[in-house]
């Protein structure tokens, strides 16, 4: 049913799309993956990622879905971008393209967390809509075959930052926001 003029003026039946939360752990050389896996094991970051996405909608590519053992735990609702419709089940929604996945995600309750991989991040950053980037920047150049796009081109506003380290890596948890 179309909005009446009065409803528009009052901002009723608001159809503002949800804020997109991007989740990524990225090396200084923008590497995020190697051979279909994470190129590091950073327990503090893994815990952060699981805590952030618990109970939320996670939009992700097929490889990320297939290689994330806990994706169906902790109340996560995955929306998988894939041509393989057979991946759909009671717990898993699928879409052939990212816009279809975002439309499904908008229709579900909860926050939308974008969990990669490479093409999905690139398409999201090109959308030109408000987003919050939960970035773990690993302070090392790491060999890999999958990359986060050049995010520094956008004028992010830093909301939060926390430095940390383990025996192998130094890293910083950033919360960045971009509003077009
Ligand atoms: N460090 C991090 O934060 C982080 C985050 C995410 C991923 N990773 C790493 O990145 C790697 C996986 O990412 P990936 O980029 O290689 O694969 P991916 O995006 O998880 O999966 C690729 C597949 O997903 C589908 N797909 C993805 N994007 C699509 C799009 N925009 N439109 C249509 N279909 C799309 C296609 O599925 P079909 O072939 O089935 O059609 C494609 O073959 C792993 O190494 C993983 O560990 C790391």
The answer to whether residues 76 and 53 touch, using CB atoms and an 8 Å cutoff, is yes
Question: How many residues are given for the chain?
Answer: 180
- List the residue whose alpha carbon is closest to atom 18 of ligand 1: 61
Answer whether residue 1 shows pLDDT above 80: no
pTM here is 0.93
Helix H or strand E segment including 177: strand 170-178
Where are the chain's structural domains? 18-178
pLDDT, tens digit, 9 for 90 and up, residues 12-49: 445 789 999 999 999 999 999 999 999 999 999 999 99
Tell whether ligand 1 has an atom less than 6 A from the beta carbon of residue 94: no
pLDDT, tens digit, 9 for 90 and up, residues 133-147: 999 999 999 999 999
Q: Which CATH superfamily is domain 18-178 in?
A: Dihydrofolate Reductase, subunit A (3.40.430.10)
Query: Which 3 state secondary structure label does DSSP give 28?
Result: coil
């Amino acid at each position: 049913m179309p909005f009446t003029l009065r409803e528009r003026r009052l901002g009723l039946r608001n159809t503002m799309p949800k804020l997109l939360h991007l989740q990524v752990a990225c090396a200084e050389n923008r590497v995020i993956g190697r051979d279909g896996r994470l190129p590091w094991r950073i327990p503090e970051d893994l815990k952060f990622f699981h805590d952030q996405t618990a109970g939320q909608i996670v939009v992700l590519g097929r490889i990320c879905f297939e290689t994330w053992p806990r994706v169906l735990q902790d109340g996560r609702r995955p929306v998988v971008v894939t041509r393989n419709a057979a991946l759909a089940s009671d717990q898993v929604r699928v879409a052939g393209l990212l816009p279809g996945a975002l439309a499904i995600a908008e229709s579900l309750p909860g926050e939308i967390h974008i969990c990669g991989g490479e093409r999905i991040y690139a398409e999201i950053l090109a959308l030109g809509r408000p987003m919050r980037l939960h970035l773990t920047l690993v302070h090392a150049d790491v060999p890999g075959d999958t990359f986060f796009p050049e995010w520094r081109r956008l004028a992010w506003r830093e909301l939060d930052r926390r430095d940390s380290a383990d025996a192998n890596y130094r890293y910083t948890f950033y919360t960045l926001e971009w509003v077009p």
